[in-house]
Amino acid sequence: MAKKDKKKKKEKKEKGREVLADIQFTKKSNVLFGIGLLVVILGFILLATGSIVLAPILLVVGYIVFFPLGILVK
């Protein structure tokens, strides 16, 4: 009996690992991640040129909105 219980616990742990590693990037998530990357690059370019209003807004939107959406959207 003890062996069966240990085996069931091990299977549950393995299933939990599979769920965490089962992140699949679709075309939609890749597009969102790409948009986020472009927005962040544009924000850094504007920051280098001296924009103190638009650059931080673009950086925040890229990092806080588009990158997480690119990871979470299936």
Per DSSP, 63 falls in state I
- pLDDT band with cut points at 50, 70 and 90 for residue 72: confident
**Could you read off the pLDDT of 1-24 as tens digits, one per residue?**
555 655 555 555 555 555 555 677
Q: How does pLDDT run across 22-57, given as a tens digit for each residue?
A: 677 899 999 999 999 999 999 999 999 999 999 999
pLDDT at position 17, please?
53
Residues 6+ apart with CB under 8 A from 33: 25, 66, 67, 70, 71
What's the whole-model pTM score? 0.69
Residues 6 or more apart whose Cβ sits within 8 Å of residue 74: 24, 26, 28, 29
DSSP-derived letter for residue 50 is T
Domain boundaries, the chain: 23-74
